[in-house]
Amino acid sequence: MSKILLVEDDHYLGIILNDQLEMNGYDVTLLRLPGETVQKLQEEPFDLVIMDKLLSGVDGTEICADIRDTEGISNTPILMMSGLDGASKICIAAGANNFIEKPFEVDSFLESIESTLSMSKNVADKKD
């Protein structure tokens, strides 16, 4: 079972995504305070981080870049999401492994998660 850190400050969207992920067999931790993402990753390992580009008080790409610059967690796979035009390129440039455009269907969301996990596993296997 993959362990996911879901960084979502929107109360209702967080609940919906959390429930969908759990119903599909993921172990999910919902983090409502985006500024605590790096600390949470340092406290416990996660197989994937999912976060929006727009979070209260901070741009998710800044958190993404912080993760990439932090020893011990820099290789954690990140799936970012946004409904903003051009956000995909910005999120990937910040270090996200994958991106999904909002709004999205649940099946597309789950496929993006599996794709991101698979990509990161293939990279890790090549390093070994």
> Would you state the pLDDT for residue 123?
65
> Which domain range does residue 37 map to?
3-127
Count of structural domains, the chain: 1
CATH classification of the domain holding 85: 3.40.50.2300
> Would you state the pLDDT for residue 12?
95
Q: What is the pLDDT along the chain (128 residues), one digit of tens a residue?
A: 899 999 999 999 999 999 999 999 999 999 999 999 999 999 999 999 999 999 988 999 999 999 999 999 999 999 999 999 999 999 999 999 999 999 999 999 999 999 999 988 776 666 65
Strand partners, 99: 80
From 6, 23, 18, select the one nearest 81 (Cα to Cα).
6
